[in-house]
Amino acid sequence: MRFAVLQFPGSNCDQDCVHVLGNVLGQDADYLWHKEESIGDADAVVVPGGFSYGDYLRTGSIAQFSPVMNAVKAFANAGGLVIGICNGFQILCETGLLPGALVRNRSLQFRCETIFLKIPTADSPFTSEVPEGRLLRVPIAHGEGCYFADDEALAKLRADDQILFQYATETGDLTDEANPNGSLLNIAGICNEGRNVCGMMPHPERASENVLGADDGRRVFESMLRHLEAKTGVGQAATAEV
Amino acid sequence: MKAKIVITPKKAVLDPQGKTVQTALEHMGYDGVKAVHVGKYIEIELEGDAESWRPKIDEACHKLLSNPVIEDYHFTIE
């Protein structure tokens, strides 16, 4: 499968994403500069973390007007698979591809630590390969990861099963102590109504190899792969052996 | 001529900065501080007619300068 990993001025997780998708998972992964107006023949788009445009004004606010984002919007609206990680999540919210917004952490501190994620539903192209009941241990690194949406939007997220990742304790409880940034409902990641666009604050690409301490993050990318393979009918035999 | 835009967090949004400033003011001995909200102030220098700028500034506030999900804004052009 072919992944396009966007690059904005200030992106800094783009290389990690290309490394994991290319070297660890054996896929085609290419950088896509923000001035490009097409995503070419990519099967999926990754909006990586970082500090696009220096986080000026609001995180993700300037990046939403990059030429490449018009192409990403069209791709997403046609059902294309898009994942935004950390700053990518902020950009997708600002763009309107995902509901809600990310604001300053409750503590006002940049939080850089490893957390546990509960996966409320396997019914998405981003969580299907997470075994039921399994928590994911992945790092976070952000100053503005506090998820906010108004009551109506939040009710819709719950009703439509759009909450994909929630901060939890080691035993899977959604407590206030396990919530590193004050996100409503401990939300760490969501998907859109069409379930083809996902945003998450934690960094699965930083936990996709055991040599780096954990490989739980792979499950997210493997879920995407499985979804794409099922869609195109390619590679099913290969993944069946995994 | 300038557009002077004030952007504040919506009431429902957690405003830890405002809360922290409020606590500091209370520690300094200022009694009767009910609430503090920390927002942004943006000045845009303009040329042309103020009335024709008004809808454009409103649009810019809505699309870029503020995020309507989490922020309110108001502005003057003078």
DSSP B1-68: -EEEEEEEE-TTS--HHHHHHHHHHHHTT-TT-------EEEEEE--S-HHHHHHHHHHHIIIIIS-T
Give me the DSSP letters along A23-82. IIT--EEEEEETT-S--TT-SEEEE--B-GGGG-SSTTTTGGGSHHHHHHHHHHHTT-EE
Q: Is B65 on the interface with A (CB under 8 A)?
A: yes
Give the domain extent around B19: 2-77
Reported as a single tens digit per residue, the pLDDT across B27-71 is: 999 999 999 999 999 999 999 999 999 999 999 999 999 999 999
What percentage of chain B carries pLDDT values higher than 70? 100
Question: Which ipTM did the prediction report?
Answer: 0.88
The answer to whether residue B2 scores a pLDDT higher than 80 is yes
Residue that is written with structure tokens 């609206």 in the block: A77
> For chains A and B, what is the number of CB pairs under 8 angstroms?
37
Min Cα–Cα distance to chain A from B70, Å = 7
- Cβ atoms B38, B18 nearer than 8 A: yes
What is the CATH superfamily name and number for domain A2-240? Class I glutamine amidotransferase (GATase) domain (3.40.50.880)
Cα-to-chain-centroid distance, residue A215: 16
**Interchain pair A107, B70: CB under 8 A:** no
Q: What mean pLDDT comes out for the span A93-118?
A: 97
Amino acid at B8: T
How many domains is chain B built from? 1
Q: Give the model's pLDDT for residue A156.
A: 98
Q: Is A237 on the interface with B (CB under 8 A)?
A: no
Q: What mean pLDDT comes out for the span A178-207?
A: 98
Give domain limits for chain A: 2-240
Best probe of the B interface among A103, A105, A179, by most B CBs < 10 A, is A103
Mean of the per-residue pLDDT values for chain A? 95
Alpha-carbon span A43 to A115, nearest angstrom: 30
Facing B70 at nearest CB: one of A57, A103, A108: A103
- Cβ atoms A111, A145 nearer than 8 A: yes
Amino acid at A133: G
For residue A92, give the 3-state DSSP assignment: helix
Amino acid at A124: S
Reported as a single tens digit per residue, the pLDDT across B62-73 is: 999 999 999 999
Facing A61 at nearest CB: one of B12, B13, B67: B67
Alpha-carbon span A202 to A179, nearest angstrom: 12
Confidence at A241, pLDDT banded by 50, 70, 90: very low
Confidence at A235, pLDDT banded by 50, 70, 90: low
